[in-house]
Amino acid sequence: MPKDAEEHRKDATYKKAKREGYRARSAFKLLDIQNRYSIFKRAFYILDLGSTPGSWLQVAKKYAELNLTKHNDKYYHRHHYKIMGVDLKRLSPIEDIKIVKMDFTSPEFQVEINNYFEGEKLDLILSDASINKSGNKFSDQARQIKLCLNILELTENLKIKGNFLVKVFQGADFENFYKKMKQHFMVVRSLKPKSSNKKSNEIYLIGLKKKY
């Protein structure tokens, strides 16, 4: 077993994830963000980009199910939820979740969204998607920002006041992307979850309450 994989399996957060039934430790990144910003509040229609191995979908399903009873009131509410996960890699099925294996930056993916959600706007878009790193910190950061800009275009599918979460790499283009998000959302926050690798330059941007 490679040294990195062996260390990963010894990691306390990895072990905790397995104990709690999550497919990966990345579930705790999303849970950290939820605890801070309540991004899943009244989220019933959810899109998750870069879903493999599926731990974020597991978290999304947990909160969508809770919302069916927790927010059953006179305000915005649905009697069902719809969650879609997409990745280029194969993803093992999760009950009651639509799994799509394709490139979400392709025009064809919009057709998948329209068909599954039947033309209705989404409550929440999540993305833990990442480029395949080359090892060159500067070019990798630029490529990740380019990916994030493509992802930001998909927020056209979000309802007004919908929420958005995306993984970004810190670096030269970060501020410009941050400003771009502020054009679309009333509140934008950045967070490095406690369970993130301290040496990593990854950071998450949270867009709350889409403007238009």
Instruction: Show me where the domains of the chain are located.
Output: 3-210
CATH 3.40.50.150 fits 3-210, yes or no: yes
Rounded CA separation 99/54 (Å): 10
DSSP 113: H
Residue 150 one-letter amino acid: N
pLDDT of residue 3: 46
Non-local (6+) Cβ contacts of 193 within 8 A are 28, 29, 32, 33, 204
**Segment holding 211, helix H or strand E:** none
pLDDT of residue 1: 44
Q: Which residues of the chain have pLDDT under 50?
A: 1-3, 6, 8
In degrees, rounded to 5, the angle at the alpha carbon of residue 176 between the alpha carbons of residues 105 and 163 is: 60
Rounded CA separation 166/190 (Å): 10
> Phi and psi for 155 in degrees, rounded to 5?
-70, -5
Non-local (6+) Cβ contacts of 70 within 8 A are none
pLDDT of residue 20: 67
Rounded CA separation 159/147 (Å): 22
pLDDT of residue 72: 86
Non-local (6+) Cβ contacts of 20 within 8 A are 27
Among this protein's residues, is 101 annotated catalytic?
Answer: no
DSSP 87: E
Of 146, 141, 57, 140, nearest in space to 105 by CA: 146
Residue found by looking up tokens 């941050």 in the block: 178
Helices (H), 119-172: 137-153
> Phi and psi for 185 in degrees, rounded to 5?
-130, 145
**Segment holding 29, helix H or strand E:** helix 27-37
pLDDT of residue 19: 75
From 61, 82, 167, 210, the catalytic residue: 167
DSSP 109: H
Judged by DSSP in three states, 129 sits in coil
Q: How far is CA 32 from the centre of its chain?
A: 13
